[in-house]
Amino acid sequence: AQKVTQAQTEISVVEKEDVTLDCVYETRDTTYYLFWYKQPPSGELVFLIRRNSFDEQNEISGRYSWNFQKSTSSFNFTITASQVVDSAVYFCALRNTGRRALTFGSGTRLQVQP
């Protein structure tokens, strides 16, 4: 069985603050894939990043960075210098090898105030 936990239901920050969204996962598989998606108010889920379980290198893309730690089963997402356009619900998801289904967490709603 697999499970994704996003303990932060809602976070509110002021523009230009840094913010980290937490994601903890559970799986019995040794190989798996982790994802982050953004869901703005319009509703469409936007793919942000994919990480393989055998690749623990952290990744930075502009203001976004991801910290994958297998030892703690965490895949956290940091937005640096947040902007109002970052306001959305962010979902962490897990896919086990051999399955196509994504298992999503319950999401973290981020509100960035001007």
Partner 1 sequence: DTGVSQNPRHKITKRGQNVTFRCDPISEHNRLYWYRQTLGQGPEFLTYFQNEAQLEKSRLLSDRFSAERPKGSFSTLEIQRTEQGDSAMYLCASSFFGRGDSNQPQHFGDGTRLSIL
List the one residue from 11, 13, 24, 102 that touches partner 1 (CB under 8 A). Answer: 102
Query: Which stretch, 14-22, 69-77, 79-87, 96-104, contacts partner 1 (CB under 8 A)?
Result: 96-104
Query: How far apart, in Å, are the Cα atoms of 15 and each of 7, 79, 113, 114?
Result: 22, 11, 6, 5
12 interacts with partner 1 by CB under 8 A: no
Q: How far is the CB of 81 from partner 1 (least distance, A)?
A: 26
104 interacts with partner 1 by CB under 8 A: yes
Site string for partner 1, 13-52 (x = CB under 8 A): --------------------x-x-x----xxxxxx--x-x
Sites of contact with partner 1 (CB under 8 A): 4, 33, 35, 37, 42-47, 50, 52, 91, 93, 99-107
